[in-house]
């Protein structure tokens, strides 16, 4: 049975209102959270949530599985870390901007190469390119090689507000996250985002409708890479270090897991997934199971793929649809 247009419109409007309320609730939660939990832990979650959201823009909304997003995280982290430690006069927001731009440029190069192939080849190419960057970061003079960069100064935001205290930095990181998330939300719901979804569902049909799908995929790739770089750059400010771990292929795998666990193609999924994975890693590292983190993550991976492919948010959405329609 189909609803009349007015009923649909009312339903859409109320759905939008509910979503708006949800976002307001989340922002309030984000604002009070540092008084309840340890700010550095929360900042780590926010950085990875942004990283996973950026990744999800590609996998969830354009259907492109990148296995090399660690390269963008690391590029943002290294450039920001290097600039802030070498030029003490540089303000943190400019350092982060530079790191993000670096990832945008790298994303453009990777994207031009990788979108020449589809599906499984796309995943292998991005993985290989990011491994190449890993070797580059080991040898490059500005990354500190195996040691990484330590003691990156947090500096003063706009040269005015000190970010030394964790609480001050938390609100800055939170603002960065909200901006990044808003950009993704805007992209997904824009006409551009609709074309991306069309490409995800059926690329030949999108081509036959006259869309230059390669350009759309490339732009999505660059946005995603840039936001991943932003996440890495912000993370450098939080932990005051940048290391090879960011560039390792395990990191590319972790961000896939966060997205998969939370729900591929849902806006809130990556947020939930990254909170869970970071929380789990944090708990495990303090327990006797600490050495088994990668085995446990691998097991969650297998279970998710076998029987939980919609992820937490995806399953919740199904549940709501089934019971409240």
Nearer to another protein, 25 or 145 (CB): 145
DSSP assignments along 234-276, one per residue: HHHHHHS-B-GGGGSHHHHHHHHHHHHHH-TT-SSHHHHHHHH
Q: Facing residues of 156 across strands?
A: 162
Alpha-carbon distance of 194 to 216, in angstroms, equals 11
Subset of residues 281 to 320 that bind another protein, contact rule: CB under 8 A: 291-295, 297-302, 305-306, 309
Q: Are strands 156-157 and 161-162 parallel, antiparallel or unpaired?
A: antiparallel
CA dihedral angle for residue 215, residue 216, residue 221, residue 222, rounded to 10 degrees: 70
Asked whether position 208 contacts another protein by CB under 8 A, the answer is no
Subset of residues 49 to 78 that bind another protein, contact rule: CB under 8 A: 65
Q: How far is the CB of 292 from another protein (least distance, A)?
A: 6
Subset of residues 236 to 265 that bind another protein, contact rule: CB under 8 A: 249, 253, 256, 260
Tally Cβ neighbours within 10 Å of residue 156. Answer: 15
Alpha-carbon distance of 181 to 173, in angstroms, equals 12
The only residue of 18, 116, 205, 318 in contact with another protein, by rule CB under 8 A? 116
Q: How far is the CB of 121 from another protein (least distance, A)?
A: 6
Phi, psi at residue 312, to the nearest 5°? -65, -50
Number of residues that bind another protein (CB under 8 A): 36
Nearer to another protein, 46 or 304 (CB): 304
Alpha-carbon distance of 149 to 260, in angstroms, equals 31
Q: How far is the CB of 126 from another protein (least distance, A)?
A: 10
Longest CA span, the chain: 66
Nearer to another protein, 80 or 131 (CB): 131
Q: SS3 for 160? A: coil
Q: How far is the CB of 108 from another protein (least distance, A)?
A: 14
The only residue of 90, 128, 280, 284 in contact with another protein, by rule CB under 8 A? 128
Q: How far is the CB of 300 from another protein (least distance, A)?
A: 8
Provide the binding-site residues for another protein, judged by CB under 8 A: 65, 113, 116-117, 119-121, 123-125, 127-129, 131-132, 135-136, 139, 249, 253, 256, 260, 291-295, 297-302, 305-306, 309
């Amino acid at each position: 049975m189909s609803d009349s247009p007015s009923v649909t419109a009312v339903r859409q409007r109320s759905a939008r209102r509910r979503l708006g309320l949800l976002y307001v609730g989340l922002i309030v939660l984000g604002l009070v959270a540092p008084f309840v939990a340890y700010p550095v832990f929360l900042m780590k979650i926010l950085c990875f949530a942004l990283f996973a959201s950026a990744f999800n823009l590609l996998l969830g909304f354009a259907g492109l599985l990148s296995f090399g997003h660690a390269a963008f995280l690391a590029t943002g982290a290294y450039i920001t870390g290097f600039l802030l430690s070498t030029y003490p006069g540089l303000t943190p927001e400019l350092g982060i901007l530079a790191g993000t731009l670096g990832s945008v440029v790298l994303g453009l190069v990777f994207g031009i190469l990788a979108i020449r192939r589809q599906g499984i080849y796309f995943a292998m190419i991005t993985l290989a390119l990011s491994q190449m960057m890993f070797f580059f970061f080991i040898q490059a003079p500005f990354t500190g090689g195996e040691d990484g960069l330590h003691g990156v100064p947090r500096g003063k935001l706009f040269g005015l507000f000190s970010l030394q205290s964790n609480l001050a930095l938390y609100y800055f990181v939170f603002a960065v996250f909200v901006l990044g998330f808003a950009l993704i939300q805007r992209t997904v719901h824009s006409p551009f985002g609709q074309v991306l979804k069309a490409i995800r569902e059926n690329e030949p049909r999108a081509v036959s409708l006259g869309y230059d799908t390669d350009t759309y995929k490339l732009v999505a790739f660059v946005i995603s890479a840039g936001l991943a770089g932003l996440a890495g750059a912000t993370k450098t400010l939080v932990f005051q270090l940048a290391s090879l771990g960011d560039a390792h292929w395990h990191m590319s795998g972790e961000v896939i897991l966060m997205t998969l666990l939370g729900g591929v193609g849902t806006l809130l999924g990556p947020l939930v997934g990254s909170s869970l994975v970071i929380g789990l890693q944090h708990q495990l590292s303090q327990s006797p199971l600490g050495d088994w983190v990668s085995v446990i993550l691998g097991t969650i991976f297998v279970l998710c793929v076998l029987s939980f492919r919609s992820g937490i948010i995806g399953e919740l959405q199904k549940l709501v649809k089934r019971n409240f329609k």
